[in-house]
Structure 1
Amino acid sequence: MNLLRKALQRCRTPSNTISCLCLETMRLWGVCFGTLRLRCKAALLGVSLGPGVRAHGPVGLLRWPGGSISIGARVIMTSSWRRASAASLRAPVRLRVFGPGASIEIGEETDLNGTSITARSQRIRIGRSVMLAPNCVIVDSDFHALWPPEARKTNPDYKRDAPVTIGDYAWIGMNCLILKGVSIGEGAMIGAGSVVTRDVPPFCLAAGAPARVLRRLGPEDEKKRAPGPQPAGSLT
Structure 2
Amino acid sequence: IEGGASHEFQLPADIGEDRLLLCPQGHFAANVETLHGEQTSCPECGEKLSETKGIEVGHTFYLGTKYSSVANAVFSSAENKPQLAEMGCYGLGVTRILAASIEVLSTEDSIRWPSLIAPYQLCFIPPKRGSREEEEGAALLERVYDELAQALPQLAGDAVLDDRSQLTIGKRLKDAQRLGYPYVVVAGKRVCEDPPVFEVWDQNAGEVLFLTKEGVIELLSKVQVP
Normalising by structure 1, report the TM-score: 0.24
Q: Normalising by structure 2, report the TM-score.
A: 0.25
By relative contact order (CA 8 Å, sep 6+), the higher-ranking structure is 2
User: Radius of gyration: which is bigger?
Assistant: 2
- Between Structure 1 and Structure 2, the one with more helix by share is 2
